[in-house]
Amino acid sequence: MKEKKLITTRKWVSQSKTTKRLPLVIFSDAACFKELLKYRIPSGLIFYQPSLKDNKFIINFGFGNGTYSKAQVTKASGRDQIIFTYAMRSNLKPPKAFQKSTAIPEKNIKLEKDRLIVDLDVDGGNGSTPTVNRSSVNPIDNKSLSKQIVSELNDKFSYQLASAITQQLTRSDKFMNRVAETVGFKLASTISTRTNRLSESLNSTIKDQSDKSEKRITHNVYDLFKEAGWLK
């Protein structure tokens, strides 16, 4: 019987023209899985900052600022899993472990100071003794989240709620008819008001221009009569 993989990479994929996506999958069977769940916030998301250094995939859960990624627990083949990804520039060569799906032995994993460190060098064998330091885990609660993350979650929830309400309402013929009637009434009132204002403004402009023209013509006629000697 083929042994199930507990932790594995997947072959890199193109995320865009400028980046490659490097996935790392941790299944619920792995010793570190339960420790990772402590970093979930109430909405079920796990926020982290990924990096690569010295052929190690580093997942930092205790970041304070900067860009970050999001993961969550999903299910595959009857097992829960968490997929962490790292975005690499497309002009760089991914580590050997991401050239194809590669099983990572649990001995290559350690969790310290809110960082999961995964040694991608698997040439030394496939031992199964986990080296997770449980005492170093500092659970993250809702209060310790940054304002930026909380704001994003709130915005996302508000958008989803508004979208759901809009979809429900726009499917109602009665509601749409009422909207049409209300909008039509308001538009008619607005158009009438603006038309009256435009008419008053136009009449005022015409009267003003007429008065000016009348004064100018009267003045010119007076000068003409005066030059002709008709006025003494």
Instruction: Select the more confidently predicted residue: 181 or 207.
Output: 207
CA distance 77 to 190: 61
The phi and psi torsions of 127 (rounded to 5 degrees) equal -65, 160
Per-residue pLDDT of 16-60, as tens digits, reads: 889 999 999 999 999 999 999 999 998 999 999 999 999 999 999
12 touches 98 (CB < 8 A) = yes
Measure the CA–CA gap between 10 and 16, rounded to whole angstroms: 17
Confidence of residue 128 (pLDDT cuts 50, 70, 90): very low
Q: What is the pLDDT of residue 231?
A: 63
Range from 88-97, 139-148, 164-173 carrying the lowest mean pLDDT: 139-148
pLDDT band per the 50, 70, 90 thresholds, residue 127: very low
- Residue 222 CA from chain centroid, whole number: 76
Give, in degrees to the nearest 5, the angle at Cα 57 between 56 and 62: 120
Cα dihedral sign, 153-157-158-159 = positive
Q: Beta partners for 69?
A: 48
For 188-226, what is each residue's pLDDT tens digit?
556 656 666 766 766 677 777 777 777 777 777 777 766
Contact 39, 89 (CB under 8 A): no
d(CA 129, CA 108): 9
- Alpha carbons 98 and 21: distance in angstroms, whole number: 10
Mean pLDDT across 178-184? 62
Look at strands 45-53 and 13-14 and give their pairing. Answer: unpaired
Q: How many CA atoms lie within 13 A of 155 on its CB side?
A: 6
pLDDT at 40: 93
Short-list 130, 144, 109, CA closest to 8 = 109
Tell me the average pLDDT across 73-90.
Answer: 93
For the cut 70, the answer to whether the pLDDT of residue 98 exceeds it is yes
Sign of the Cα torsion 70, 72, 84, 124 reads positive
Question: Which one-letter DSSP state was computed for residue 97?
Answer: G
Tell me the average pLDDT across 142-158.
54
Collapsed DSSP state (helix, strand, coil) of residue 62: coil
Compute how many other C-beta atoms are within 10 angstroms of the C-beta atom of residue 47: 21
Give the contacts of 158 (CB within 8 A, at least 6 positions apart).
none
Pick from 7-11, 27-31, 227-231: least confident: 227-231
Please state the rounded mean pLDDT for residues 97-118.
94
pTM, full prediction: 0.54
